[in-house]
Amino acid sequence: MKTTVDIADALLQSAKEVSAREGTTVRALIEEGLRQTLAKRQKSGSFRLRKASFSGKGILPEIEEGSWDTIRGLIYRDRGE
């Protein structure tokens, strides 16, 4: 597909120099750059929750029922309040 893109003169000149030195085309360089940029953005766009588990014996019997008052009491236990 053909399209028109405005590119800074210095960037285009650098691309022409690299393509001549490497025996490729500016088009190939642009396509390579776009592929790399799109792949990078696709990877960084997906959220991954870090592993934050820890070893233990599971829920304490005192909080198995899940009462907020019980949980709060255990959090502040031995803090003088």
pLDDT (0 to 100) of residue 30: 95
Say how far apart CA 27 and CA 4 lie, in whole Å.
12
Task: Please indicate, yes or no, whether the overall pTM of this predicted structure exceeds 0.75.
Answer: no
What digits encode the pLDDT tens for the residues 32-67?
Answer: 999 999 988 887 667 778 888 878 877 878 787 878
Burial 14-40 (b: 16+ CB within 10 A, else e): ebeeebeeeeeeeeebeeeeeeeeeee
Domain boundaries, the chain: 9-44
